[in-house]
């Protein structure tokens, strides 16, 4: 089964605008944009827009941003092997057996060591952006972790609760990537409950970071900024803090900055980035905690992303050249960095350079690329500007299922 980006972002905007009985000018005024931006999107002259623009339009139309960008809403299937299922993931998060008080699983639960090994495997797959494999493995991991928490007590049960908390967090981010933000919120609520019962004091902070990301994806930007900053203030490190505490604090600052940049609060973004960069410099090298990197490299790619979002494309490309030790980051982070480079080049009408950056992103995390709405829209936009029938760009569009 393949998925396609139909209708386009412009089609979605136009349909929602008409349902709300707005003219293009009226929508533009509500969103604080020029009517020309709305017109070009609806006419298909542009297939992409900065996320600040998408969030402004989503707020004006009273919808979640995912309804505009048209991201894939389910797992793609590329083989006849075990097939990932959104329904199976939903059932694992909210099983009927919990409501009916039934025994959910007659099999003996796995050993704690087996459970922890499964979690580590899932984290590796997640860093590589292999969405289908996550969809296959995650429902069973959640069921197994719940079984251990029911069957055991004491330290083993607490450790299993920590595994369960992380598994729910992965489910939340996976569902968000598929535009299922409400189900993601349920998963995250359950993650926070499991974290409070677990043996890892950092998991609740990681959950707040994920919550801020989900709020950002929902277009709840003020809420995203608030939860990230409130938690960051609560855990603000001191000179005796360990590196992991600095990293978690820095990640929260970057989450808050991501929301702030889409609220077009540039001074706040710069302040938060400066604080996060200082924390990263104090750590010295990039860490990888709970499948999330933080350090000088991640702070550097965050700066590039924020500059692109603010429309400072020349500065973004200059900053991109200064990012250190890019290979230290997981594939999905590196791929997103190259997509940001491509966006900056495209805005500057350097289409060939944009294509090269997109091809690097695809080589880095090919499956992630097929699910990433911004990448897909950018490829469609560049393809619309190209006159050749066959080209490396046309081949990329074909691999992303955008040529029909």
Rounded to a whole number of angstroms, the distance between the first and last alpha carbons of the chain is 14
- Which is more confidently placed, 74 or 359? 359
> Do 19 and 94 belong to one domain?
no
The per-residue DSSP string of 328-350 comes to: GS-HHHHHHHHHHHHHHHHHTT-
Give φ, ψ of 293 to 5 degrees. -85, 155
Boundaries of domain holding 171: 72-200
> Do 77 and 163 belong to one domain?
yes
| Residue 304 maps to a domain | no
> Do 115 and 196 belong to one domain?
yes
> Do 80 and 144 belong to one domain?
yes
Does residue 59 sit in helix, strand or coil?
helix
Give the separation between CA 221 and CA 214, rounded to whole angstroms.
Answer: 10
Mean pLDDT of 57-67: 84
Per-residue pLDDT at 381 = 87
pLDDT beyond 80 at 76: no
pLDDT beyond 70 at 78: no
| Residue 93 maps to a domain | yes
> Do 196 and 77 belong to one domain?
yes
Single out the residue in 70, 90, 119 at which a domain terminates: 70
> Do 65 and 85 belong to one domain?
no
Out of 52-61, 64-73, 178-187, 266-275, least confident range: 64-73
pLDDT beyond 70 at 302: yes
pLDDT digits (tens, 9 = 90+) for 251-281: 999 999 999 999 999 999 999 999 999 999 9
Cβ neighbour number for residue 26 with a 10 Å cutoff: 15
Residue pair 253/272 in contact (Cβ under 8 Å)? The answer is yes
Does residue 288 sit in helix, strand or coil?
strand
Single out the residue in 170, 200, 230 at which a domain terminates: 200
Mean pLDDT of 143-162: 93
> Do 147 and 49 belong to one domain?
no
pLDDT beyond 60 at 6: no
| Residue 303 maps to a domain | no
Mean pLDDT of 195-214: 95
> Do 121 and 163 belong to one domain?
yes
Residue pair 174/131 in contact (Cβ under 8 Å)? The answer is yes
> Do 185 and 79 belong to one domain?
yes
Per-residue pLDDT at 3 = 39
pTM for this predicted structure = 0.84
The per-residue DSSP string of 344-369 comes to: HHHHTT-HHHHHHHHHHHHHH-HHHH
Per the structure, the count of domains in the chain is 2
Per-residue pLDDT at 143 = 92
**Longest CA–CA separation in the chain, Å:** 66
| Residue 379 maps to a domain | no
* 33: CATH: 1.10.260.40
pLDDT digits (tens, 9 = 90+) for 238-255: 888 999 999 999 999 999
| Residue 371 maps to a domain | no
Residue pair 172/206 in contact (Cβ under 8 Å)? The answer is no
What tokens does 66 get?
Answer: 């995912």
Single out the residue in 24, 53, 70 at which a domain terminates: 70
> Do 49 and 164 belong to one domain?
no
The per-residue DSSP string of 184-206 comes to: HHHHHHHHHHHHHHSS-TTHHHH
| Residue 246 maps to a domain | no
Q: What is the mean pLDDT of the chain?
A: 89
| Residue 248 maps to a domain | no
Mean pLDDT of 118-137: 89
| Residue 43 maps to a domain | yes
> Do 108 and 193 belong to one domain?
yes
């Amino acid at each position: 089964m393949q998925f396609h980006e139909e209708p386009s972002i412009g089609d979605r905007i136009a349909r929602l605008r008409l349902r709300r009985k707005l003219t293009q000018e009226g929508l533009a005024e509500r969103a604080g944009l020029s009517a020309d931006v709305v017109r070009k999107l609806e006419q298909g002259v542009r297939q992409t827009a900065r996320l600040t623009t998408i969030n402004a339009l989503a707020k004006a139309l009273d919808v979640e941003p995912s309804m505009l960008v048209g991201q894939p809403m389910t797992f793609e299937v590329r083989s006849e092997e075990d097939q990932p299922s959104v329904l199976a993931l939903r059932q694992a998060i909210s099983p009927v057996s919990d409501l009916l008080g039934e025994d959910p699983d007659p099999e003996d639960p796995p050993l704690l060591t087996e459970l922890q090994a499964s979690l580590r495997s899932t984290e590796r797959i997640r860093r590589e952006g292999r969405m289908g494999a996550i969809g296959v493995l995650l429902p069973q991991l959640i069921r197994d972790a719940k079984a251990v928490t029911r069957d055991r007590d004491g330290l083993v049960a607490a450790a299993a609760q920590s595994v369960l908390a992380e598994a729910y967090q992965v489910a939340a981010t996976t569902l968000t990537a598929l535009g299922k933000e409400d189900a993601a919120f349920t998963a995250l609520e359950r993650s926070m409950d499991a974290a409070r019962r677990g043996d890892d004091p950092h998991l609740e902070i990681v959950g707040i970071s994920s919550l801020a990301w989900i709020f950002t994806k929902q277009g709840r930007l003020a809420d995203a900024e608030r939860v990230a900053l409130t938690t960051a203030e609560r855990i603000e490190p001191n000179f005796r803090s360990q590196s992991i505490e600095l990293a978690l604090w820095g990640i929260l600052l970057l989450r808050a900055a991501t929301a702030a940049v889409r609220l077009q609060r540039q001074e706040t973004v710069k302040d938060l980035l400066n604080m996060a960069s200082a924390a990263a410099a104090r750590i010295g090298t990039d860490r990888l905690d709970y499948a999330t990197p933080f350090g000088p490299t991640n702070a550097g790619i965050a700066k590039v992303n924020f500059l692109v979002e603010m429309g400072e494309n020349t500065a973004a490309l200059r900053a991109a050249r200064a990012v250190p030790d890019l290979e230290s980051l997981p594939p999905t982070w590196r791929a997103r960095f190259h997509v940001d480079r491509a966006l900056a080049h495209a805005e500057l009408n350097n289409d060939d350079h944009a294509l090269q950056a997109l091809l690097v992103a695809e080589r880095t995390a090919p499956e992630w690329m097929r699910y990433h709405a911004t990448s897909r829209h950018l490829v469609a936009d560049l393809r619309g500007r190209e006159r050749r029938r066959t080209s490396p760009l046309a081949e990329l569009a074909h691999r992303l299922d955008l040529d029909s």
